[in-house]
Amino acid sequence: MEEIKKIGVLTSGGDAPGMNAAIRAVVRAGSHHGLEVFGINRGYQGMIDGDIIPLPPTSVSGIIQKGGTILQTARCMEFMEYEGRKKAYDQLQRFGIQAVIVIGGDGSFTGASIMSKEFDIPFIGIPGTIDNDLYGTDVTIGYDTAISTAVEAVDKIRDTASSHGRIFFVEVMGRNAGFLALSTGIACGAEGILVPEEKGQLGKLRKYLAERAAHKKSSIIIVAEGDEEGGAITIAKRIQEEFPNLSIRTSILGHIQRGGSPSAYDRITASRMGSAAIEALLDDQKSIMIGIVNNEVAYVPLSKSIKLHKDVDRDLLKLAEELV
């Protein structure tokens, strides 16, 4: 295998706080090992368009604390087709880029895995998503910050909920995963947590509300966006019909959870993963994702991280029920 001298880094899919810290780590660790690092703007779309810029070490000064991603991000349909990936490969060749580090989620890694096989180019994945839904790592970049953002918001909702004795259904992000909902719910002392990984939770909620209704107490029910019963609005509507005497309100936290300055933990995780990605490349690895497992850096085949399902912590689910 020829010696790697030039690499590209991109962010793809939904942005997550800490992506900038990961870009910085890739650039600085790359430079430390004598690599030339290029930034690919707007994810795979920028790769196709040749929107590629040099990233010298000074270009990433002052970004570790910034939310979002300085490289911008995109969900690119064209990259899903072979023709799109061929265009992207030709652009990499034009710039002499021999390997790519992708900071993103499972969709981004699927593209990386396919292109890596088609064009024999090493791709290293760094998990960056607030959903924390990637197999092979205990944490993803952005998850910790998003929990704190959601908790801060729910604490405020709790104030008004208790003042009015209301039931609030609060929807948090997580397309198909309940990690953010579960952590937020436990940290806020929620009276109910609905996640896609657990079936039949609505029955328990009905029972709880029937018993509690008489006390006129407020309750916070956290709903993961991808819950099987529908989002918070759908569920709240059904519950309101069944319990007409309850004063029910809904709140969708939405994209606020994706923004903000990353927590110290996310910055450190991003720094560790960025540096580990460079080491993996220098070690001739390809098509792997960097993970953190039991606080140690771990290397997982990209194919596994995409295919295998990471389950929510069942002990945490039990804990949440026990503490209501």
Side-chain-side CA neighbours of 222 within 13 Å: the count stands at 34
How far is 284 from 28, CA to CA, in rounded Å?
A: 19
- Reduced to 3 states, what is the DSSP secondary structure of residue 290? strand
User: Which residue number, 46 or 105, has a Cβ lying nearer to ligand F6P?
Assistant: 105
Given the residues 15, 90, 106, 131, select the one marked as catalytic. 131
32 CB contacts (<8 Å, ≥6 apart)?
278
Which one of residues 18, 39, 105, 122 is an interface residue with ligand F6P (CB under 6 A)? 105
Query: What's the rounded Cα separation, in Å, for the pair 311 and 197?
Result: 7
Least distance between ligand F6P and beta carbon 127 (Å)? 11
Q: Tell the smallest beta-carbon distance from residue 105 to ligand F6P (Å).
A: 5
CB nearer to ligand F6P: pick between 173 and 223 = 173
Confirm if 177 and 133 have CB atoms less than 8 A apart: yes
Question: How many degrees, rounded to 5, is the angle at CA 206 between CA 200 and CA 211?
Answer: 140
Compute the distance between CA of residue 1 and CA of residue 18 in angstroms, rounded to an integer: 32
Binding residues among 207-246 for ligand F6P as defined by CB under 6 A: 225
Q: Which structure tokens are listed for 147?
A: 């929990």
Using the rule CB under 6 A, is 258 a contact of ligand F6P?
Answer: yes
From residue 155 to residue 194, the character string flagging contacts with ligand F6P as x (rule: CB under 6 A) and all else as - is: ------------------xxx-------------------
Tell me if 235 sits within 8 A of 202, measured CB to CB: yes
Query: For 184, left (φ over 0), alpha (ψ -120 to 50), or beta?
Result: alpha
Nearest distance in Å: CB 25, ligand F6P: 21
CA distance 212 to 195: 22
131 is catalytic: yes
Q: Does 129 bind ligand F6P (CB under 6 A)?
A: yes
CB atoms within 10 A of CB 323: 11
**Interface with ligand F6P by CB under 6 A: which range of 2-10, 26-34, 109-117, 123-131?**
123-131
Closer CB to ligand F6P, residue 130 or residue 209? 130
CB of 131 to ligand F6P, least distance (A): 5
- The interface mask with ligand F6P, positions 3-22, x = CB under 6 A, is -----------x--------
- Count interface residues toward ligand F6P (CB under 6 A): 10
Judged by beta carbon, residue 108 or residue 250, the one nearer ligand F6P is 108
β-pairing, 296-301 with 288-293?
A: antiparallel
| 150 sits near ligand F6P (criterion: CB under 6 A) | no
Active site residue ranges: 131
Interacting residue ranges for ligand F6P, rule: CB under 6 A: 14, 105, 129-131, 173-175, 225, 258
